[in-house]
Structures are given as structure tokens and as C-alpha cells.
Amino acid sequence: MTVPETLHARVARLNEALASASPAAVIEKAMEAVPAGRLAVVSSFGTESAVLLKFVADVDPGLPVLFLDTGMLFEETLDYRDRLVDFFGLTDVRSLKPQIELLERRDPHRDLWLRDTESCCHIRKVRPLSDALGGFDGWMNGRKRFQGGARAAIAHAETDGQLLKFNPLAALSQNDIAAVFETAGLPRHPLEKMGFSSVGCMPCTSRTRPGEAPRAGRWRNTGRSECGIHRIGLPAGAGCGC
């Protein structure tokens, strides 16, 4: 009787095969590793999101794309989402929203971000994504190593509870990202020209200064750098290119 391969063993084998893989090759391998209909893409439709979506659309524009509509996003981000959906011909973009009951109970005045940013992110991002990923066996996101912090050593494949998680852009440099925008003629996020190098919810996003890290404007002066959806080891689904 054959002993089933553990999830960690599968990830190790995948990373060995993907050591020098292109983003498209990572996406194709993810589609091989995860049963049809059980793989999702998570996108914030932020300043660099067009690159991952470009590679996804080149392989399969029908892959489900999960978008966290927190209720506190910039209007420019919502407009950019609509533009990229049309630009790439994406056919299955799903907006995930926080539970109304949770908002009414925990954040009735929309000021939770002032008092407890972690709880605010949990209600508006982590919980909706966790619930949605219950219907999938694997997901992809747009994190890159050059973004630093907890992202500096990410592999192309990871575990997230009982799910497989893929980072197709992990090995790309900032110059690589810029080159894809240029050669593919990708639309830019409208807030980028205003000094926003990384865009999340309005209250917790600020412009970056010359010389700062790309994500320095996220949760500035709070000691935070992630919203919580990428915490390895939480229950399945509770771990963007947010």
C-alpha cells in the first residue's frame, strides 16, 4: 500500500521543480497540482497586480480571481479593478466583502482602524478570504521577495493550512516588474503617479518617500507590514498580493 505524500513533501518537490521557473511555468504547475476548479488567484488590484494578472490571463483568463472589497478602498482601486478585468478579459472575478453582522457589531462607526488595526484587517480581509478559500485547494498571490520583510525569502510554493499556496512572481526583481509593465503595455494604478507605491485601504495607506521600501506607506508608524492573510500555519485559508 502506497503511503500518501504529505503536503509539506509535495511543497518541497514542487519547489525543487520550480527553482528557476518563470511566472507562467509556476502558474501552469499550480494548475497541474490542484484539481480543476479548486485553484484561485487572490489579487488586491494594487500597483503591481497587473503583472500577476497578465501571466494568469495568458494561461487561463477563466481562473477564479478573489478580490477583497473591504469597504474602505480608494475609488481609484475599484476603477482600476474594472479596467484590468476588461483589459485582460478575466471572466470570473469575485468580490469578497466583510460580513455585515460583524461590521455592525465590531465597527459600527468605521473607526476600528484607529483603535485596533489588526482586528480591522481580520474582519475586512482575513475572515472573508478564509471563508472563500474554504471552497478551494490552492491559491496564488503576487508577493515578491524584493518587497522585503516577511516576503524576503518566500518560495514559489508554500503550505497554508491544508491548502497549497503559490507565489509565481517571487523571484522577480523590481526591474523585472517594470519591464513587464513596459513590454506588455499594462495600465498603471492611477494612484501610483501620486506617490503611492503600494495601495491598500484608505485609512492605512500613505505615500512613500524617496528611498523608502515599496511598502513603507502601509500601516505607517504602527509596526505592522502585513494585513494577516499571509500568516503561515493558521487554519486553512487564513493565510494578497495584498
Q: Are 26 and 143 in contact (CB under 8 A)?
A: no
Q: Are 139 and 41 in contact (CB under 8 A)?
A: yes
Q: What is the dihedral of CA 168, 225, 137, 100, to 10 degrees?
A: -130
Q: Are 139 and 160 in contact (CB under 8 A)?
A: yes
For the question of residue 227 being annotated catalytic, the response is: yes
* CA 17 remoteness from chain centre: 23
Q: What is the dihedral of CA 214, 220, 223, 228, to 10 degrees?
A: -70
Pairwise CA distance, residues 140 & 195, whole Å: 27
Q: Which three cell numbers stand for residue 46?
A: 494594487
Q: Of these residues, 120, 121, 204, 227, which one is catalytic? A: 227
So which residues are the catalytic ones?
227
